């Protein structure tokens, strides 16, 4: 029951308080307090609380009631509320004991600062009380001031060496110092012998046992605490934890159910339930509980670790990875968490990350076997066979009886080409584990690879004879027969398996492959459908069937099989990749994006997924997203020339010229004769206006290569940049005659345009457009040229076509606004407004917008827009300056207009110079 000694309540003191409050008018209060005191002694806390609160309603200034209420709160583990009551009692009665209680409650509440502040204050009256000194010792020990803590506890012991609170304080100081755990345990054992109902001492003994991993003693002593004081919820949770550690799950479940009946909002209860569910393998339910813990305590390391492990079991690799990264960041030396994280990376095929984490673990623990194994596997995945073999040699030495390490060593030696040593190690491993089917099959494969056919045949026969009723050895024997050219024997074995198991996947699959090799598509299809009859959601079979139907030209059947595969396993990547590839071919890139985006998080290390996403983004002109996917490709294959070249083009298309050139240079470092990358480097240099460097790069190409159309096109671009349009025309013409395309058509005629062959350039592009009416690049250039030569009708026709295709293109909108400003000013105004909204910084668009407002007669709006264009600090072209002069004249600012017109007339030639001269003359002649 309730051990009053733990709170230093003396019967004499209590009676003194009661007498102090007695009197005829307080007789009812005295009875209430006496009954509450008896209830506390009997452990009837609820009954005591009722009487105490009634007494305080009658007399809020009752110090005795406040003390007893504080005691009740302490039993209920409500230390903060207890501290408040003890403080009020002391303020009312000024008793030393109430201040002692206050100090004890502060420590129980973890409020060390308030106690240490009290110790330095003028209000301290309990300094000489041994129980106060014990509480003070606990406070000092919590702040790491062990010298002061020891002095305080020694003062308390000198005054009262028998008191359980003082003795517990001595044990706590020793435990927190960490130097004498056994001494502390002896002290606590003595307290529980002398005071068998002292719940704190039992709790501390249990804590020590749990620290020493003596879970049997911990469970026994936590159980004792729970019997003495059921309100000690933490200890009851520790009891559940100890029972789980002991494997006494049913008992733990029962104790936890008692806590759950209290309907506590306690993360510890959720964690314990989650742990029990985890141990039972009920990972989904476990995650529900653990996620509740993390919702309240996101840094709860044990919950993070269990949740990550449960997510791994559920296949939620991305979530597990995030949780483990967080846990490792908070606890860098947590080796189990690091091992789990390395395992996650390995499952996600991220060998580089696996290697990094495994090496970090080995820095913490040089001989960590699990980390060595993970590192060896990561190195093999990266083709680093030499170091991997060295690791497996170490593992085989450290764990000579490990089949796993022996197998790894043998497999790595085979990869290194040391066939003899590899076979020896595999034979040793099989001798350790003769029933290991996968190991036996690997050894047979090694025999075959080294042309030891007789040994392989003997091993296959032994494999079959050992398990005559098992279909797996029979399947393997059939495959061996196929490899050795014994097709009839292979067919016979496959068919014998189907007699036993008509839906056997491997036997039907083997016969289907044989049929395909014989070009018997119908028979192969029949075998795949035989599998699906028994295994309708088998993704691999559905994929095989899709491949067959594609080869047969049955597109609908292929799509049906792929969609069935995706429905069977929504997270499976192969069917989505195949469907996305089909949609890209069908020019439906957005559908491809949707197919891949839903599984991107679960397959972040799939090279093919990022490759297809890049292709889909490029097809839908989302160049920035394409680059992002391309960079993910390079993360997975950083030194692959083909990937580097592909991403270089993506970067170039997105305008990331420096990055594009860097990738291209890396390709050339790996494959120096890559003409396309040399051309790309030249193109990027030209785009960055570096003609000399571009010429130097072109010179590195062999003369035979420089005659190719692609190189001629690049040389033509260089000639244009060097202001040699005639040379550029020759180069572009040569390339165009061999491989005519839209870009060359534009380049060739720009070269003509620059030589003032404007009519020829326009006629050429009009002719091209007749044959290629959907060529937007040519139409856009042609529209601009028709506008430039004053053929507004033809320009408007081209721009009307373009606006249907690109309704949000600001320059198309701008030019349509200009072309319609006189004939359809309201339509022009709509175009101008939209263009300005899309490109508010464009001076050209501001000018057009101003001139449209002028055409409508909105002089103020026109002037405001013209002023806005002028305020950009960008130099206005003569044409735009002339337009400003017109707007200024409309606004009655002729002097400003004259200044502009005078400069235009005296300046360089431009299209409207004669109009400017005439306008200036007209203004001056009309002057005074």
Domain membership of residue 136 (yes or no) is no
pTM exceeds cut of 0.85: no
**Domain containing residue 522: CATH number:** 1.25.40.10
Let me know whether 456 and 471 are in one domain.
no
Let me know whether 626 and 515 are in one domain.
no
Domain membership of residue 702 (yes or no) is no
Contact status, residue 636 vs residue 614, Cβ threshold 8 Å: no
The CA distance from 76 to 270, in Å, is 21
Domain membership of residue 322 (yes or no) is no
Q: How many CB atoms lie within 10 A of CB 23?
A: 10
The CA distance from 447 to 445, in Å, is 5
Residue 676: the pLDDT is 85
Which residues form the domain of 851? Answer: 772-925
Token pair belonging to 339: 């091992």
Q: Where is the domain boundary, 536, 561, 586?
A: 561
Helix (H) or strand (E) holding 396: helix 385-398
Let me know whether 471 and 451 are in one domain.
no
Residue 318: the pLDDT is 83
Residue 138: the pLDDT is 92
Domain membership of residue 657 (yes or no) is yes
Domain membership of residue 540 (yes or no) is yes
Give per-residue burial for 695-725: e unless 16+ CB within 10 Å, then b. Answer: bebbeebeeeeeebbbbbbbbbbbbbbeebb
Contact status, residue 592 vs residue 616, Cβ threshold 8 Å: yes
Which stretches in the chain have pLDDT values below 50?
1-26
Residue 172: the pLDDT is 92
The CA distance from 371 to 580, in Å, is 38
Let me know whether 918 and 855 are in one domain.
yes
DSSP 874: P
Residue 10: the pLDDT is 41
The CA distance from 288 to 548, in Å, is 44
Domain membership of residue 908 (yes or no) is yes
Residue 195: the pLDDT is 93
Domain membership of residue 320 (yes or no) is no
Let me know whether 905 and 799 are in one domain.
yes
Q: What is each CA distance from 82 to 12, 66, 73, 79, 197, in whole angstroms?
A: 21, 9, 5, 5, 21
Let me know whether 450 and 499 are in one domain.
no
Let me know whether 456 and 480 are in one domain.
no
Let me know whether 776 and 920 are in one domain.
yes
Let me know whether 677 and 555 are in one domain.
no
Let me know whether 452 and 513 are in one domain.
no
The CA distance from 199 to 222, in Å, is 9
The CA distance from 275 to 296, in Å, is 17
Residue 921: the pLDDT is 86
Domain membership of residue 800 (yes or no) is yes
Residue 15: the pLDDT is 38
In 3D space, the residue among 68, 85, 75 whose CA is nearest the CA of residue 33 turns out to be 68
Let me know whether 481 and 442 are in one domain.
no
Q: Which residue has the tokens 């506390």?
A: 40
Let me know whether 577 and 663 are in one domain.
no
The CA distance from 546 to 575, in Å, is 9
Q: Which residue has the tokens 């029972």?
A: 243
Domain count, the chain: 5
């Amino acid at each position: 029951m309730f051990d009053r000694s733990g709170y230093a309540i003396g019967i004499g003191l209590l009676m003194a308080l009661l007498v102090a409050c007695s009197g005829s008018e307080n007789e009812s209060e005295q009875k209430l307090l006496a009954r509450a005191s008896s209830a506390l002694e009997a452990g009837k806390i609820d009954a005591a609380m009722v009487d105490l609160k009634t007494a305080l309603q009658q007399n809020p200034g009752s110090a005795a009631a406040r003390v007893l209420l504080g005691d009740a709160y302490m039993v209920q583990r409500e230390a903060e509320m207890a501290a408040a009551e003890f403080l009020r009692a002391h303020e009312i009665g000024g008793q030393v004991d109430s201040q002692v209680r206050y100090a004890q409650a502060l420590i129980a509440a973890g409020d060390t600062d308030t106690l240490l502040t009290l110790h330095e204050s003028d209000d301290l009256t309990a300094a000489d009380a041994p129980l106060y000194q014990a509480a003070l010792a606990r406070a000092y020990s919590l702040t790491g001031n062990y010298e002061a803590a020891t002095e305080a506890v020694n003062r308390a012991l000198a005054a009262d060496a028998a008191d359980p609170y003082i003795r517990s304080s001595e044990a706590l100081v020793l435990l927190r110092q960490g130097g004498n755990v056994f001494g502390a345990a002896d002290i606590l054992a003595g307290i529980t012998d002398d005071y068998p109902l002292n719940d704190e001492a039992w709790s501390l003994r249990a804590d020590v046992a749990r620290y020493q991993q003596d879970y049997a003693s911990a469970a026994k002593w936590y159980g004792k605490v729970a019997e003495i004081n059921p309100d000690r919820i933490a200890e009851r949770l520790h009891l559940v934890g100890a029972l789980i550690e002991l494997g006494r799950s049913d008992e733990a479940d029962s104790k936890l159910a008692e806590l759950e009946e209290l309907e506590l909002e306690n993360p510890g209860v959720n964690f314990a339930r989650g742990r029990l569910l985890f141990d039972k393998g009920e990972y989904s339910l476990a995650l529900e509980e653990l996620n509740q813990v993390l919702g309240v305590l996101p840094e709860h390391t044990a919950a993070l670790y269990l949740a990550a492990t449960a997510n791994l079991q559920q296949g939620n690799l991305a979530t597990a990875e995030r949780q483990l990264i967080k846990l490792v960041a908070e606890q860098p030396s947590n080796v189990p968490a690091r091992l789990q994280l390395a395992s996650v990376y390995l499952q996600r095929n991220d060998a580089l990350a696996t290697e990094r984490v495994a090496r970090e673990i080995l820095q913490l623990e040089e001989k960590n076997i699990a980390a060595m194994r993970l590192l060896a596997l990561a190195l093999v995945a990266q083709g680093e066979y030499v170091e991997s073999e060295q690791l497996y040699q170490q593992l085989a030495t450290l764990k000579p009886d490990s089949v796993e390490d022996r197998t790894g060593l043998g497999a790595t030696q085979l990869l290194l080409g040391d066939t003899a040593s590899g076979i020896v190690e595999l034979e040793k491993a099989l001798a350790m584990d003769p029933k290991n089917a996968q190991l036996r099959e690997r050894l047979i494969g090694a025999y075959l690879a080294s042309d030891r056919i007789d040994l392989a045949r003997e091993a296959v026969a032994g494999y079959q004879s050992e398990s005559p009723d098992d279909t797996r050895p029979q399947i393997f024997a059939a495959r061996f027969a196929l490899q050795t050219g014994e097709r009839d024997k292979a067919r016979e074995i496959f068919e014998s398996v189907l007699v036993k198991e008509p839906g056997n996947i491997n036997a039907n699959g083997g016969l289907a492959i044989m049929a395909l090799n014989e070009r018997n598509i119908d028979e192969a299809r029949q075998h795949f459908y035989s599998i699906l009859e028994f295994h309708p959601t088998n993704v691999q079979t559905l994929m095989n069937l899709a491949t067959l139907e594609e080869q047969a030209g049955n597109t609908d059947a292929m799509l049906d099989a792929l969609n069935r595969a995706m429905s069977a396993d929504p997270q499976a990547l192969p069917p989505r990749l195949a469907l996305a590839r089909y949609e890209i071919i069908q020019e439906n890139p957005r559908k491809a994006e949707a197919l891949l985006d839903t599984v991107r998080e679960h397959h972040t290390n799939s090279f093919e997924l990022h490759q297809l996403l890049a292709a889909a983004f490029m097809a839908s002109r989302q160049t920035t997203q394409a680059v992002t996917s391309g960079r993910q490709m390079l993360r997975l294959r950083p030194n692959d020339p083909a990937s580097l070249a592909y991403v270089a083009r993506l970067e170039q298309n997105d305008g990331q010229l420096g990055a594009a050139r860097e990738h291209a240079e890396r390709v050339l470092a790996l494959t120096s004769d890559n003409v396309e990358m040399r051309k790309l480097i030249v193109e990027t240099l030209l785009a960055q206006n570096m003609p000399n460097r571009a010429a130097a790069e072109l010179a590195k190409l062999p003369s035979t290569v420089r005659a190719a159309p692609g190189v001629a096109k690049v040389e033509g671009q260089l000639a244009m940049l060097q202001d040699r349009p005639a040379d550029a025309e020759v180069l572009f013409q040569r390339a165009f005659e061999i491989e005519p395309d839209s870009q060359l058509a534009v380049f060739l005629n720009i070269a003509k345009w620059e030589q003032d062959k404007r009519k020829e350039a326009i006629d050429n592009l009009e002719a091209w457009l007749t044959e290629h009416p959907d060529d937007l690049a040519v139409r856009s250039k042609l529209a601009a040229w028709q506008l430039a030569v004053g053929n507004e009708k033809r320009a408007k026709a081209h721009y009307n076509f373009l606006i249907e295709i690109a309704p949000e293109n600001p320059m198309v909108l701008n030019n349509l606004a200009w072309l319609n400003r006189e004939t359809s000013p309201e339509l022009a105004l709509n175009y101008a407004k939209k263009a300005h909204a899309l490109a508010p910084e464009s001076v050209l668009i501001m000018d057009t917008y101003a001139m449209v407002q002028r055409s409508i007669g909105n002089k103020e709006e026109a002037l405001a827009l013209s002023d806005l264009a002028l305020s950009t600090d960008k130099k206005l072209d003569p044409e735009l300056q002339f337009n400003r002069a017109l707007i200024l004249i409309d606004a009655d600012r002729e002097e400003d207009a004259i200044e502009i017109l005078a400069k235009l007339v005296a300046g360089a030639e431009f299209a409207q110079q004669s109009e400017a001269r005439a306008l200036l003359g007209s203004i001056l002649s009309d002057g005074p």
